[in-house]
A and B are shown apart, each in its own frame.
Chain A
Amino acid sequence: MQIYDVCIIGAGPVGLSLAAALQKSKQLNKVLILDSIKKPKFNKQGLPNQRVLSVTQSSREVLQSVGAWDKLEQGRVNPYNRMIIDESNGQDYLEFKNQQAHIIEYDNIVNALLEVYDGEIEFESKLEKIELKPNEYVTVNDKFQCKLLIGSDGNKSKVKECSNIGTYGHSYHQMGIVCTVERTDQDSEVAYQTYLSNGCPLALLPLYNPYSSIVWTAYMDDYKYLMSLSDEEFLKVLNSQLGRYAPRIKSISNKRMAFPLQSLQAQRYIQKRIALIGDAAHSNHPMAGQGMNMGINDAALLANCIIKNSRSGNDIGLEQSLEEYESQAKLMNYTTSIAMELIKNTYENKTISPLRQLGAKIINNLDPIKQIMIQYGSKHPLGPSQFEWVK
């Protein structure tokens, strides 16, 4: 049976970042990536894709370090430096400056990473089954073995399921509705987030001109209603709900898509010969757009850990070797999750209305929370201080 050092399940931005970092280090012999989807094609001239990601300074550094940043279709990478948060019920608003973040389409990032990674990768190849016997490596789909199996296979992770790692958390009973829209203005430097009267955030994230992407958090009833509307009807509702400061929308550019919102944490990120990263390990409310950024941070921490242990001649699949990754990643992800719940609850607090009215004021005065929110856009202090693969 063929033996790989590392096998990565899931060629999303997180799994690919890890693969690219490992390849750049030249420390491992054999890395393989599997994904069940067809090899994605990115149409550089086409309309924008619904699925976009807000990329922080920390994630950008990781993408740069593996050479993927330069491979992005630059005309479709949009920097924004301000975010305005307001409430449809209140007078206050918050403004964050110097965020140094970028809004980039999912497909653009995946495509850039695929361009730098030239190791083994198999599309249309699904993880069905893993087997771990004592004194053996992990057997995947009865076909090959690997010393370390990485689950970067998203929030329905098969790797997590197969290794019996539990999950705790809850569903928000909300959906995130995403689509691309065309703005009436040409100001692509400001992102807007409005808290609607039911406490749900509606975000307008600037893509390259004249497009923006919306992420609308909706309860199940509202979700069904919003998805049932025609484009013209949806446009009217959207324009009526966007906050005072946001530009008006001219037209809807593509089909609405939706994904369930949940706050999930895998009980463990590691097990003997197994590690989970990205959405497979945790998924959060997309409010602050941190899903992928937390995942890229996982990938960087795990790459550091694997490279370091491999250089020291340790067994990279051993729990001792992976422990450092788990403790560092959990620290970072828990603090981010807690901060996000705090912010979410401040805005959703319906019982104590004076507090809710003061929502923005409170956050403005709560320095630690504001700090954390600013860090969303910039460099995270708990991120890796160095990248072992560029040494």
Chain B
Amino acid sequence: MIRIKLLKYFSSTINQADRQNFNKIQDWWSVGGSMAPLYSYNHLRVQFIHEILNRPQKGKSLAGLHSLDVGVGGGILSESLRRLGSKVTGIDVSENSIETAIQHKNTDPELNDSDLEYKLISIEELSKNQEKQFDIITAMEVIEHVENLPLFIESLGKLLKPDGKLFISSINKSYESYLKLIIGAEYIARVVPQGTHDWNNFKTPEQVWLQLNKQKINIDVLRGVEYNLLNGEMKYSNNETQYIMACSKQKME
């Protein structure tokens, strides 16, 4: 039902080819699986979020906040945010991702409440229906799979509280990213399934900045990140082939 509604939607942020690809991913949570690098990236993401919010990373450090995780994938980040005390709404446009995330949430009895909910819905649909705004919005490794970036960012802006924080991470559109991610990660090292990325759809931080600016959102911090093939850990880097950013709304005078 929801699916038909999504397809009908005229100007959509959904990239159908990528959505089909995500529907095929079976190993979001398997050990040593193709999505394992994401699991290790999670440490850095969560650390980054805490640094920006200026909260010590201890215990239920995100209690009292409501987060929106856009593009949940298997639910890695959504689960984390919930365990750290935040209420979490996770959305995705891939049926497979939402099903995987729900199934996995059930493996941890601690998550078995309505404070972590998953929805199969696009960001623009959610922004139309939901009058509530969020303290934290995360869109990690999503915009490279998104059509119509202006609409996507506009919808994020609508859903972010005036003093909320928006986190975006993605892959730069550069020759280096072509070599590193498409050739290197997908074809040579095979740490990421082939066809996961469409380089033409990658966005540079400048492209993202332009759209954020239109919505009166500032980029507060922008950092390069890098996957270390040797120890499998993500770390900050001077190289912005992959980047993570923290944004907030411009203050109205």
Which A residues form the contact surface with B (CB < 8 A)?
Answer: 3, 26-27, 134-137, 147, 308, 311-315, 319-320, 323
User: Once the chains bind, are A312 and B47 in contact (CB under 8 Å)?
Assistant: yes
Interface pairs A-B: 9 shortest CB-CB: A313-B80, A313-B83, A313-B84, A312-B46, A319-B31, A312-B43, A311-B57, A320-B39, A135-B106
Which residues from A are CB-within-8-Å of B32? 323
Choose from B29, B107, B110 the contact partner of A134 (Cβ within 8 Å).
Answer: B107
Mark B31-63 against chain A: 1 for CB-CB distance below 8 A, else 0. 110001001001100110000000001110000
Cα(A367)–Cα(B143), bound, Å:
54
Cα(A312)–Cα(B80), bound, Å:
6
User: Once the chains bind, are A323 and B57 in contact (CB under 8 Å)?
Assistant: no
Cα(A360)–Cα(B97), bound, Å:
62
Q: Name the residue on B nearest A328 (C-beta).
A: B231
Cα(A137)–Cα(B108), bound, Å:
7
Give the B interface residue count (CB, 8 A): 23
Which residues from B are CB-within-8-Å of A137? 109
Mark B1-39 against chain A: 1 for CB-CB distance below 8 A, else 0. 000000000000000000000000000010110001001
Q: How far is the CB of A358 from chain B (nearest CB, A)?
A: 39
Cα(A308)–Cα(B44), bound, Å:
11
Q: Name the residue on A nearest B43 (C-beta).
A: A312
User: Once the chains bind, are B107 and A311 in contact (CB under 8 Å)?
Assistant: no
Q: Name the residue on A nearest B29 (C-beta).
A: A320
Is B136 close to A, CB under 8 A? no
Is B247 close to A, CB under 8 A? no
Q: Contacts A312-B46, A313-B79, A313-B82 known; A135 to B29 CB distance under 8 Å?
A: no
Cα(A135)–Cα(B32), bound, Å:
21
Q: How far is the CB of A315 from chain B (nearest CB, A)?
A: 5
Cα(A27)–Cα(B61), bound, Å:
11
Q: Contacts A26-B58, A137-B109 known; A308 to B43 CB distance under 8 Å?
A: yes
Q: Contacts A135-B107, A313-B46 known; A320 to B79 CB distance under 8 Å?
A: no
Cα(A295)–Cα(B17), bound, Å:
50
- Looking at chain B's contact residues, is the secondary structure mostly helix, strand, loop, or mixed? helix
User: Once the chains bind, are B80 and A314 in contact (CB under 8 Å)?
Assistant: yes
Extra contacts, 17 of them, besides A314-B80, A320-B36 (Cβ < 8 A), are: A3-B109, A26-B58, A27-B58, A135-B109, A136-B109, A147-B110, A308-B43, A311-B46, A312-B42, A312-B43, A312-B47, A313-B84, A314-B42, A314-B83, A315-B108, A320-B31, A320-B39
Is B168 close to A, CB under 8 A? no
Choose from B29, B36, B58, B106 the contact partner of A311 (Cβ within 8 Å).
Answer: B58
Is B123 close to A, CB under 8 A? no
A-B contact pairs, 26 of them (CB 8 A): A3-B109, A26-B58, A26-B59, A135-B106, A135-B107, A135-B109, A137-B109, A311-B58, A312-B42, A312-B46, A312-B80, A313-B46, A313-B82, A313-B83, A313-B84, A314-B42, A314-B79, A314-B83, A315-B83, A315-B107, A319-B31, A320-B31, A320-B36, A320-B39, A323-B31, A323-B32
Which residues from B are CB-within-8-Å of A311? 46, 57-58
Is B81 close to A, CB under 8 A? yes
Most buried by A among B32, B47, B57, B81: B57
Which residues from B are CB-within-8-Å of A314? 39, 42, 79-80, 83
Q: How far is the CB of A157 from chain B (nearest CB, A)?
A: 22
Cα(A147)–Cα(B47), bound, Å:
23
Q: Name the residue on A nearest B233 (C-beta).
A: A324
Cα(A157)–Cα(B63), bound, Å:
39
Which residues from B are CB-within-8-Å of A315? 79, 83, 107-108
Q: Name the residue on B nearest A5 (C-beta).
A: B110
B 181-207 contacts with A by CB, 8 A: none
Which residues from B are CB-within-8-Å of A26? 58-59
Cα(A135)–Cα(B103), bound, Å:
9
Cα(A56)–Cα(B107), bound, Å:
41
Which residues from B are CB-within-8-Å of A134? 107
Q: How far is the CB of B186 from chain A (nearest CB, A)?
A: 21
Q: How far is the CB of A129 from chain B (nearest CB, A)?
A: 20
Cα(A314)–Cα(B79), bound, Å:
7
Most buried by A among B29, B81, B107: B107
Q: Contacts A320-B29, A320-B31 known; A313 to B81 CB distance under 8 Å?
A: yes
User: Once the chains bind, are B83 and A27 in contact (CB under 8 Å)?
Assistant: no
Q: How far is the CB of B116 from chain A (nearest CB, A)?
A: 11
Q: How far is the CB of B146 from chain A (nearest CB, A)?
A: 25
Q: Name the residue on A nearest B82 (C-beta).
A: A313
Mark B210-225 against chain A: 1 for CB-CB distance below 8 A, else 0. 0000000000000000
Most buried by B among A137, A314, A319: A314
Cα(A312)–Cα(B38), bound, Å:
13
Q: How far is the CB of A229 from chain B (nearest CB, A)?
A: 53
Which residues from A are CB-within-8-Å of B81? 313
Q: How far is the CB of B29 from chain A (nearest CB, A)?
A: 7
Cα(A311)–Cα(B110), bound, Å:
16
Cα(A319)–Cα(B39), bound, Å:
11
Which residues from A are CB-within-8-Å of B47? 312
Cα(A26)–Cα(B43), bound, Å:
19
Cα(A319)–Cα(B42), bound, Å:
15
Which residues from A are CB-within-8-Å of B79? 313-315
Q: Name the residue on A nearest B59 (C-beta).
A: A27
Q: How far is the CB of B25 from chain A (nearest CB, A)?
A: 16
Q: Name the residue on A nearest B42 (C-beta).
A: A312
Q: Name the residue on A nearest B80 (C-beta).
A: A313
Which residues from A are CB-within-8-Å of B83? 313-315
Which residues from A are CB-within-8-Å of B58? 26-27, 311
